């Protein structure tokens, strides 16, 4: 009887049963967000944000209402996540069918009045959004794009961008992503191997800094310039 | 028949299977709404966008909250909220006074390098939060801030003092290449003809350009772009 009420909902449930139901739904929600991938967390398109707002409220309502069925709640959370993944998948296959297009609000330094009006972006809205992007002067901007996410991206004119190495005629420099070598005392052997380095090399490097053992290192990262960042 | 009406309409009991079918129907709503949603709602430029954003998601999922909630009511509310948002946005772009009323106005928090205490109170913002937002905006030092504005979207924009801004090519008398947005030439193996036309080239030019890089089939290219300075970029599908 009790179990029946626990899974399918009943007029009354003791508080601890509600608590366990909440824990189950919460874990289900975490698994569902993982299944929906990072694009859900980043809320990249229309259906992503509708799902974001929907899935949390439906899980929340099922949590607080003892009369609602837990089984249905779980089925819904995963079916909802599945529908969302399906829409994201369709977005890859048929982009024109799922998502909206970006809108060009400014091109070659000219504001596009018609598209701004169609997208219902006021001039004050636009000024606010470009200030947030650190582009305070319209004359410094080449293009503005209203992205499907609703964010406005700013492309400045090259003469107003910070000077880069190429313009300064500086010699080429090697850049790459840094590689983690020690993570909380644990040596990342895969990363060492990929860089064709060995434990002995790491040990020598650590000893130069007066560290006897890699287990004392909290974080060590090898940067493309060759410098090794170490924090104990 | 009863089953179908229990899915679409109001009922007291609905099985997990019934809810699963409702979820798929909600999926269609998600798709349809995703197509027509106003761009600005996702950008949350103002409070009413924020309300719309979260309300729309909740309403769309509502048939899954309770068996008693039916699709007809849900769709009605979706249409009403959408039209309300449309109406407010429409009036806002047409009439600036109305826009100021519903959207509000940005509030200047730092002016001429000084924090404006009166406006901080108007924006309901404690000093700690201002400092935190400045750090997030890569301006941890108030010394370097000329102006900061609380925008209607709830974020704080920062203008740094001229002396700490990066130098531009103009200031250094250096030449700068043409800039702007790059043009997409190949999208997942398919040539984008209208874009090619726009920059005054044709397919044979693109094939020739790819050939110079040792690519024989445009179908093998995942993405190809050209920037306004004329630099060509491509990634082939098999590249890991």
Q: In chain B, what residues touch A152 (CB-CB under 8 Å)?
A: 43
Q: What percent of chain A has pLDDT over 70?
A: 100
Q: What pLDDT score was predicted for residue A153?
A: 92
Closest in A50, A65, A121 to B30, CB measured: A50
CA atoms of A29 and A62, how far apart (whole Å): 12
Cβ–Cβ under 8 Å, residues B150 and B109: yes
Q: What pLDDT score was predicted for residue B240?
A: 54
| The 3-state secondary structure of chain B, one letter per residue | CHHHHHHHCCCCCCCHHHHHHHHHHHHHHHHHHHHHCCHHHHHCCCHHHHHHHHHHHHHHHHHHCCCCCCHHHHHHHHHHHHHHHHHHHHHHHHCHHHHHHHHCCCEEEEECCEECHHHHHHCCCCHHHHHHHHHHCCCCCHHHEEEEEECCCCCEEEEECHHHCCCCCCCCCCCCCCCCCCEEEEECCEECHHHHHHCCCCHHHHHHHHHHCCCCCHHHEEEEEECCCCCEEEEECCCC
Give this prediction's pTM.
0.80
Q: What pLDDT score was predicted for residue B47?
A: 86
A200-227 pLDDT, tens digit per residue, is 999 999 999 889 888 889 999 999 888 8
Q: What pLDDT score was predicted for residue B179?
A: 84
Q: What pLDDT score was predicted for residue A142?
A: 93
Q: What pLDDT score was predicted for residue B69?
A: 86
- In chain B, residues 193-222 whose CB comes closer than 8 Å to chain A: none
Q: In chain B, what residues touch A151 (CB-CB under 8 Å)?
A: 42-43
Closest in B54, B66, B106 to A68, CB measured: B66
Residue B233 structure tokens: 């970029």
Closest residue of chain B to A161, computed from CA coordinates: B168
pLDDT along chain B (240 residues), means of 10: 81 86 91 87 86 88 87 90 92 92 92 94 90 89 93 91 90 86 90 89 88 88 90 81
**Residue A61 binned pLDDT confidence (cut-offs 50, 70, 90):** confident
**Does the distance separating the beta carbons of B179 and A155 come in below 8 Å?**
yes
**Does the distance separating the beta carbons of A142 and B181 come in below 8 Å?**
yes
Q: In chain A, what residues touch B43 (CB-CB under 8 Å)?
A: 129, 146, 149-152
CA atoms of A35 and B74, how far apart (whole Å): 27
A vs B, Cβ pairs < 8 A, gives 224
Q: How far is B68 from chain A (nearest CA, A)?
A: 11
Question: CB distance from B149 to chain A under 8 Å?
Answer: yes
- In chain B, residues 160-179 whose CB comes closer than 8 Å to chain A: 166-170, 172, 174-179
Q: What pLDDT score was predicted for residue A64?
A: 83
Q: In chain A, what residues touch B16 (CB-CB under 8 Å)?
A: 69, 71-72, 75
Which of these, A134, A31, A11, lies nearest to A77 by C-alpha position? A31
**Does the distance separating the beta carbons of B43 and A152 come in below 8 Å?**
yes
Residue A138 CB: number of other CB atoms within 10 A?
A: 13
- Please state the rounded mean pLDDT for residues A133-161: 90
Q: Rounded mean pLDDT of chain A?
A: 88
Cβ–Cβ under 8 Å, residues B206 and B195: no
CA atoms of A178 and A170, how far apart (whole Å): 22
A20 pLDDT above the threshold of 60: yes
**Does the distance separating the beta carbons of B31 and A120 come in below 8 Å?**
no
Closest residue of chain A to B57, computed from CA coordinates: A50
Q: What pLDDT score was predicted for residue B9?
A: 84
- In chain B, residues 27-86 whose CB comes closer than 8 Å to chain A: 27, 30-31, 33-35, 37-46, 49, 53-58, 60-61, 64-66, 86
Q: In chain A, what residues touch B170 (CB-CB under 8 Å)?
A: 159-160
Q: What pLDDT score was predicted for residue A1?
A: 62
């Amino acid at each position: 009887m009790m179990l029946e009420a626990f899974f399918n909902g009943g007029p009354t449930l003791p508080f601890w049963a509600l608590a366990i139901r909440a824990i189950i739904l919460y874990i289900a929600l975490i698994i569902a967000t993982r299944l929906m991938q990072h694009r859900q967390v980043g809320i990249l398109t229309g259906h992503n944000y509708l799902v974001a707002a929907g899935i949390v409220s439906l899980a929340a309502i099922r949590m607080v209402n003892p009369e609602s069925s837990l089984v249905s709640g779980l089925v819904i959370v995963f079916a909802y996540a599945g529908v969302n993944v399906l829409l994201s998948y369709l977005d890859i296959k048929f982009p024109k069918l799922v998502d909206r297009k970006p809108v060009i609000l400014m091109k070659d330094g000219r504001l596009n009045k018609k598209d701004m009006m169609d997208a219902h972006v006021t001039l004050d809205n636009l000024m606010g959004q470009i200030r947030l992007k650190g582009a305070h002067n319209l004359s410094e901007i080449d293009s503005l794009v209203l992205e499907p996410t609703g964010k406005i991206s700013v492309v400045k004119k090259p003469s107003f961008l910070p000077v880069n190495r190429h313009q300064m005629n500086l010699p080429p420099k090697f850049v790459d992503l840094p590689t983690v070598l020690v993570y909380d005392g644990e040596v990342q052997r895969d990363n060492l191997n990929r860089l064709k380095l060995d434990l002995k090399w790491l040990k020598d490097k650590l000893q130069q800094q007066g560290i006897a053992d890699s287990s004392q290192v909290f974080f060590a990262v090898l940067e493309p310039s060759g410098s090794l960042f170490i924090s104990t | 028949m009863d089953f179908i009406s229990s899915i679409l309409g109001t009922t007291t009991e609905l099985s997990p299977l019934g809810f699963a079918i409702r979820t798929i129907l909600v999926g269609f709503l998600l798709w349809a709404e995703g197509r027509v949603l106003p761009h600005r709602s996702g950008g949350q430029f103002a409070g009413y966008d924020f309300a719309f954003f979260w309300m729309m998601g909740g309403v769309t999922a509502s048939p899954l909250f309770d068996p008693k909630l039916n699709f007809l009511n849900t769709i009605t509310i979706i249409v009403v909220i959408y039209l309300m948002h449309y109406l407010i946005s429409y009036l806002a772009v047409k009439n600036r006074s109305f826009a100021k009323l519903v959207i509000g106005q940005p509030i200047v928090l730092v002016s001429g390098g000084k924090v404006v205490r009166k406006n901080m109170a108007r924006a309901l913002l404690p000093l700690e939060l201002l400092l935190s937002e400045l750090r997030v905006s890569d301006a941890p030092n108030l010394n370097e801030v000329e102006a900061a504005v609380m925008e209607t979207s709830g974020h704080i924009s920062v203008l740094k003092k001229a002396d700490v801004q990066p130098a531009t090519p103009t200031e250094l008398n250096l030449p700068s290449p043409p800039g702007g947005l790059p043009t997409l030439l190949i999208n997942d193996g398919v040539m984008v003809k209208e874009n090619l036309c726009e920059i005054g080239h044709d397919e044979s030019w693109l094939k020739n350009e790819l050939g110079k890089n040792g690519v024989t089939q445009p179908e093998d290219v995942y993405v190809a772009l050209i920037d306004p300075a004329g630099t060509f970029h491509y990634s082939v599908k098999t590249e890991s």
